[in-house]
Structure 1
Amino acid sequence: MCSIPGCPEFTDQGGRCEGHRQEAEQRRGSSQQRGYGREHQQRFRPGVLARDRMCVLCRQAPSKHADHYPLSRRELVEKGLDPNDPRHGRGLCGPCHSSETAHHQPGGWNR
């Protein structure tokens, strides 16, 4: 069943049905709409990954994701800090990034 209360749709993967999944994606907006535009791609991400070539958590895999840390992108913006400054990030491998995101943002960016 879809995880949205009252929705009768069945899902084969659990979570939301396809209609509710698409609706959530539209509300979420594109990566640029969420603040991950040109400066993020040209300054933040390359700066973090050049500095942290190996994942700073497991130290066993190459960094593939530039993660805002210790403050989230949203918190940096709220404090008037530059969210695209590589000093506000850390390099993580895919599994560590997924784990950290699930732990610190269980409801996602729009919670």
Structure 2
Amino acid sequence: MPNRPKPPCSRPGCEHSKPCPKHSREASRQRGSATQRGYGQQHRDRFRRGVLDRDPICVLCRRAPATVADHWPKSRRQLTAEGLDPNDPSNGRGLCASCHGRETAANPAQRGGWNAER
């Protein structure tokens, strides 16, 4: 059975297939590490733990266990820009991974990576 060809690089004009080494490195440099983006020790200890302790069940579907602490109603970027504490658990909600992926994809302000450019 023949293998499917690899999908092309998501960068327009690039002739490589995924994962394109050049554009993968470029995206990582632009994005920065998780700690550089503000998801370090305080985020894990204060925000994530506080939100998941308060919301053990997903607040959207109310069926699955909450595994993701989502910044809501404002994104982490918006909270930081307004001078508010993005690690305050009151600025978040507990979601299951499925609901978090759906919510993030639907909100243009929260898209990351190459999707942020579209």
Matching residue of 2:65: 62
CA shift digits 1:45-83 (9 cap, x unpaired): 000000000000111100000000000011111111111
Write out the 4+ residue segments of structure 1 that deviate beyond 3 Å after TM superposition: none
Q: Distance in 2 between matches of 1:36 and 1:77?
A: 12
Matching residue of 2:17: 10
Matching residue of 1:80: 83
SS at match of 1:30: coil
* CA distance 1:102–1:94, shift in 2 (3 Å): same
Deviation of 1:109 (Å):
6.7
Work out which of the two has the higher radius of gyration on C-alpha atoms and give 1 or 2.
2
Q: Distance in 1 between matches of 2:41 and 2:84?
A: 17
RMSD: 1.8
Q: Distance in 2 between matches of 1:7 and 1:109?
A: 16
Q: Does 1:100 align with 2:107?
A: no
- In the alignment, structure 2 segments of 5+ residues that lack a partner are 1-7
Q: Distance in 1 between matches of 2:31 and 2:82?
A: 22
Q: How many residues align?
A: 107
**Structure 1 length-normalised TM:** 0.86
* Paired residue type of 2:63: Q
**Structure 2 length-normalised TM:** 0.81
